[in-house]
Amino acid sequence: MATGDERGQPSVASVPVDLAVATYAAKWRRLDELAIEYMASALVALGLFQSPGERFTAEQVCESTGILPVYRSLLPRWLQALTRAGRITQEGDGFSAPAPLPGLSPAELEARGS
Query: Domain limits of the chain?
Result: 20-113
Residue 100's pLDDT band (boundaries 50, 70, 90)?
very high
- The Cα 80–Cα 8 span in angstroms is 29
Is residue 92 predicted with pLDDT exceeding 90?
yes
**Class of the 20-113 domain?**
mainly alpha
| pTM reported for the whole predicted model | 0.74
pLDDT at position 4 over 70: no
End-to-end CA gap in the chain: 12
pLDDT, residue 1, reads 43
Q: Average pLDDT for residues 86-109, to the nearest whole number?
A: 87
pLDDT tens track for 72-91 = 999 999 999 999 999 999 99
